[in-house]
Structure 1
Amino acid sequence: MGTWGPGSFENDDAIDWVAELESYSDDGPIIDALNTIIDRADDYPQPLDCSVAIAAAELVAAQLGNSHEDCPEEIEIWVEGHPAPSATRIAQARQAIEVILAESGLKEMWQDSDEWEKWEEAMEDMLSRLPY
């Protein structure tokens, strides 16, 4: 995985997922990305799946008007044409991030780096932008 920073969009997997958004008219890719993590919570989700789920959670936050300052334009464009997320989708986004923070391959990767605290802060910031 090409990673150049702890931000949600500072890796190839998230950027690739975002690039494919324009080809989807529904929220299927968001549901799939979040559910992949939720469904594998007990199976130690891998970094690629985690990175994609983080991008999907950022999209949900953007739908709520809580975009991160580094949110790609593709997400902003996608959000303009879609309604606000349901309470269920917001809960799924929160749950996926909580799973990633609890125990995942991505968390382990960041714990072993000098930017662990920045990554953890980025995840906590995202949770703050996904209200209950």
Structure 2
Amino acid sequence: MGASGVGSFDNDNAMDWVAELEGYADDSPIVDALNTVIDQADDSPGTLDCSIAIAAAEVVAAQLGHPHEDCPEEIEVWVEGHPAPSATRVAQARQAIEVILAESELKGLWENSGGLEEWQGAMEDLLSRLPY
């Protein structure tokens, strides 16, 4: 994973997914990304899936009017043309982040790098922008 920081968009996987999102008129890539991690909850989701699900959860937060301070312009443009997410979608985004925080390959990478606390703080910030 090409990563330079703990931020949701500080890795190539997330940014590649963001670039692909522009081509979708519906929210199917968001649903797919979140459900992929949720469906792997018992199997420690992989780093790629986690990075993409985090970016998808950031889109949901942006749709709610709570974008990340480093939200890519591509997401801002996509959000402008789409309605606010349903309560179900917000719950899916929260659940995906909670799965990633509980046990995932991405969490393991941050544990091994010594940056776990900072990364967990970034994920808690994301959760705070996804209200119940």
**TM-score interval for Structure 1 and Structure 2 normalised by the shorter chain:** over 0.9
C-alpha distance in structure 2 between counterparts of 1:115 and 1:11, whole Å: 15
Matches within 5 A, 1:1-132: 1-132=1-132
How far the C-alpha of 1:21 sits from its partner, in A, is 1.0
C-alpha distance in structure 2 between counterparts of 1:78 and 1:123, whole Å: 22
Identity %: 75
C-alpha distance in structure 2 between counterparts of 1:22 and 1:102, whole Å: 30
Partner secondary structure for residue 83 of structure 2: coil
Structure-2-length-normalised TM-score: 0.99
Partner secondary structure for residue 67 of structure 1: coil
Q: How many pairs does the alignment contain? A: 132
C-alpha distance in structure 1 between counterparts of 2:88 and 2:41, whole Å: 18
> What is the letter of the counterpart of residue 74 of structure 2?
E
How far the C-alpha of 1:114 sits from its partner, in A, is 2.8
